[in-house]
Structure 1
Amino acid sequence: MAYDRKQPFNDLPLLPPSINVEEDIEVMKKLVTASRALATINSSIHRLPNPTMLINTIALQEAQTSTAIENIFTTEDELYKAVSETIKEENIRPATKEVLRYREALWEGFNIIKNSGMIDLDCVISTFRQIKNSTATIRPPQTLTVIRRGQSEFRSGEVIYTPPRGVGVIEAKMKNLIEYLNDDNKHSADPLIKMCIAHYQFEAIHPFSDGNGRTGRILNLLYLVNKDLLGQPVLYLSKYIMINQEDYYHHLSGITQRGSWKPWVLYMLDAVEKTAALTNQLIVSIINQMEATLAHGKSNIKWYNKEVNEAIFSQPYIKPKLIGDLLSVTSRTTLTKYFNELVNAKILSPNKDGRDVYYINDDLIQILKG
């Protein structure tokens, strides 16, 4: 396959690949262990009283790390304050807003595929728009998009890849990609293998002017949910990619330059296996701590119940209003008394930020720190 990185890669082969990596023994073995690891997450998710409580814990970590891959950084403290509304909207930094948009895009995409039963172009574009807070769509044919080396890299600014472009070119390749994902009769590979292959193809097509990396990583999770391999889009996949970022780009390049699919598929399956184990460990730790805190809370506070306990574990930072709304308590005096009881029982610890006081679930913070 002749390839000139300075020319649009309009010869990007359509899916499926000409090489059937699924028949490789090493790939098959890794596929089995990755699939088993994913299954453990689902069994743990079923133990949760409310699986969507992971939106502001594990899903938020995924959003933060996926955004950091694009050199957009924020701190856990900023994120938790923004999620719990302990800081005003106008005081939230742009980087933190980017992470929150990623989280919203993840859950909006989750709702879309639950309703439609598939990942289509509208879902892809909607995900991208949510991430970028934009009304843009597929790159126009005249846009001279290129991928360059980062400023911290050797030969910074050098063109390393030029994605396809031209009238109808991107649209045709996206149509092929979406058909590959959804038509299991025509393309019957294992869904995990298809996810690996489709992720490369999406990044190689590079359908948008910006935000392709984050959009592609969300699509990975949505596809696993769509194929019932993941009950909720909470796989902490970006952590593996962040730690092994050099290998990630090396293996992507290997497919583009040499059609070398096997190392890429093994890399992605290993990412699924390792992050599934990590994600499952986080979920189990949260469940176990929830159960211990519920027993402790009920034995020390007469009004403490399962619903309050779930709310306290729905996010690391808690504003009194969250519990007040749950218990229909409008009296500030009563709410202050309740939170004093939570502090005395060491379930929460107070933290003052200017005139506002919010409360921290230290046990949950420790779990999320790993």
Structure 2
Amino acid sequence: MENFDRKIPYNKLPLLPPNQDVENNPVILKRLVLASRALATVNGNLNRLPNPLMLINTLALQEAKTSTEIENIFTTEDELYKAISDTYKETNVNPATKEVLKYREALWAGYKELQENQTIDTNLITRIFNQIKETKSGYRPPQSQVVIKRGESEFRSGEIIYTPPIGEGLIETLMDNLVEYLNDDEKYPIDPLLKMCIAHYQFEAIHPFQDGNGRTGRILNLLYLFSKGLLSQPILYMSKFIILNKEDYYFKLGAVTQRNSWESWIEFMLEATEKTSLLTNTRINEILLQMESTLEYAKGKIKWYNKEVNEAIFGQPYIKPSLIGEIIGKTSRTTLTKYMNELVNYKILTPRKDGVEVFYINEDLIRILEGH
């Protein structure tokens, strides 16, 4: 590995499993215990939510936003919340927001597919990529001279930091091995959290697609944890930790490639899992407490307010009157306007005009999601 050249395709990328006994490494084992315990707490907490799928528009959206920021695609919370409200029209959405929404849709499409098929295969991975990039293409062709460069904002920007493998059938061989490693627990009996860490490195090193590999790889992490029963839903805000430790993330990825340094990489990913689980738990606890407080307060002030309405306004940050109307069975514009005014008067929702549209914002939920 001493003569590793970042500008030459890494065609000697070893197949999995790694040639190191990571399972019996005391440093890794200590981290594994902490990460497993924190992850188990998240899973228990998910089941306390009245409607766990509400997180599709809350925590999953935060994960999608931060994951796309890692790729230097930025949008605002305001744009996102408007886009996921029930008046979402694709033509009104800016390109960066669209990228975030595609990430979220790809995550949930993969989740639904896994619920039926129970297996992560190369077709599923390709479909996730296709949805993120709105393309029908598969693996990058063998002649493509793809290189990974430092980002614009980084020191020595534009410098080549890695060249993934190229060649006839090579990506197919590496990806088949990766999928076999993930699925065959008899041949590769190793803790699923350790497998996730190892497989994430391998996927990023293979870099099977022309673009969107980072986002596809991060979705794959969540779906794998779900497939192994470690998460009842693919909700884990892992990108937040990665973006806060972005330099470390790329440095430790590179250390595996250049020096076969698995310990520091697996440690990093296990710490990411642990800290992310703790953060996700905090968010869920805060949402549950706020839901309870709002329900109790609103029921004392508004006679038609009920548990279902309360769940709806905590299901997404920006609410349209029609959503409330569907729940309470009222469709008259006059009646709905009156009801929305009541929610505003008691400071449960805040109106915000956007052109001809009026959005009603749950500021308590936004405060929690944005960590204020």
Which band: TM-score by shorter chain?
over 0.9
| TM-score normalised over the length of structure 1 | 0.98
User: Equivalents in 2 of 1:156, 1:336: separation in Å?
Assistant: 53
Give the equivalent residue in structure 2 for 1:89: 90
SS for the counterpart of 1:304 is coil
Q: Does 1:169 align with 2:170?
A: yes
Give yes or no for contact 2:10–2:163 (8 Å, CA) kept in 1: yes
Give the equivalent residue in structure 1 for 2:22: 21
- Report Cα offsets for 1:115-153 as digits up to 9, x if no partner: 111111111001001111111111111111111222333
Give the equivalent residue in structure 1 for 2:62: 61
User: Equivalents in 2 of 1:342, 1:83: separation in Å?
Assistant: 21
- Report Cα offsets for 1:312-347 as digits up to 9, x if no partner: 000011011111122221100010111111112221
Give the equivalent residue in structure 1 for 2:8: 7
Give the equivalent residue in structure 2 for 1:291: 292
Give the equivalent residue in structure 1 for 2:137: 136
User: Equivalents in 2 of 1:35, 1:337: separation in Å?
Assistant: 49
Give the equivalent residue in structure 2 for 1:330: 331
Unaligned stretches of 5+ residues in structure 1? none
User: Equivalents in 1 of 2:156, 2:367: separation in Å?
Assistant: 41
Compute the displacement of 1:357 (Å).
Answer: 1.1
- Report Cα offsets for 1:213-252 as digits up to 9, x if no partner: 0000000000011111111111000000000000000000
User: Equivalents in 2 of 1:305, 1:154: separation in Å?
Assistant: 54
User: Equivalents in 2 of 1:202, 1:127: separation in Å?
Assistant: 14
Alignment-mate amino acid for residue 22 of structure 1: E
Give yes or no for contact 1:86–1:358 (8 Å, CA) kept in 2: no
User: Equivalents in 2 of 1:23, 1:146: separation in Å?
Assistant: 35
Q: Does 1:359 align with 2:360?
A: yes
User: Equivalents in 1 of 2:201, 2:227: separation in Å?
Assistant: 19
Alignment-mate amino acid for residue 251 of structure 2: H
Moved more, 75-84 or 327-336: 327-336
Moved more, 153-162 or 190-199: 153-162
Compute the displacement of 1:154 (Å).
Answer: 3.5
Unaligned stretches of 5+ residues in structure 2? none
1:334-345 matched pairs, under 5 angstroms: 334-345=335-346
User: Equivalents in 1 of 2:280, 2:252: separation in Å?
Assistant: 24
SS for the counterpart of 2:352 is strand
- Report Cα offsets for 1:269-319 as digits up to 9, x if no partner: 000000100001001110111111111222211111111111100001101
Give the equivalent residue in structure 1 for 2:347: 346
Compute the displacement of 1:353 (Å).
Answer: 1.4
Give yes or no for contact 1:6–1:161 (8 Å, CA) kept in 2: yes
1:108-127 matched pairs, under 5 angstroms: 108-127=109-128
Give yes or no for contact 1:351–1:360 (8 Å, CA) kept in 2: yes
Give the equivalent residue in structure 1 for 2:79: 78
User: Equivalents in 2 of 1:89, 1:100: separation in Å?
Assistant: 10
Compute the displacement of 1:88 (Å).
Answer: 4.0
Give yes or no for contact 1:34–1:269 (8 Å, CA) kept in 2: yes
Give yes or no for contact 2:107–2:128 (8 Å, CA) kept in 1: yes
Compute the displacement of 1:5 (Å).
Answer: 1.6
User: Equivalents in 2 of 1:23, 1:260: separation in Å?
Assistant: 15
User: Equivalents in 2 of 1:301, 1:85: separation in Å?
Assistant: 24
Alignment-mate amino acid for residue 291 of structure 1: E
Compute the displacement of 1:157 (Å).
Answer: 2.3
Give yes or no for contact 2:86–2:323 (8 Å, CA) kept in 1: no
Give the equivalent residue in structure 2 for 1:271: 272
Give yes or no for contact 2:128–2:216 (8 Å, CA) kept in 1: yes
Give the paired residue count: 370
Alignment-mate amino acid for residue 9 of structure 1: Y
Give the equivalent residue in structure 2 for 1:281: 282
Alignment-mate amino acid for residue 158 of structure 2: G
| TM-score normalised over the length of structure 2 | 0.97
SS for the counterpart of 2:64 is helix
Give yes or no for contact 1:113–1:119 (8 Å, CA) kept in 2: yes
User: Equivalents in 2 of 1:228, 1:88: separation in Å?
Assistant: 35
Give the equivalent residue in structure 2 for 1:155: 156
SS for the counterpart of 2:359 is strand
Give yes or no for contact 1:86–1:356 (8 Å, CA) kept in 2: no
Q: Does 1:234 align with 2:227?
A: no
Shift >6 Å, 4+ stretches: none
SS for the counterpart of 1:7 is coil
User: Equivalents in 2 of 1:155, 1:281: separation in Å?
Assistant: 37
Alignment-mate amino acid for residue 325 of structure 2: G
SS for the counterpart of 1:160 is strand
Q: Does 1:48 align with 2:34?
A: no
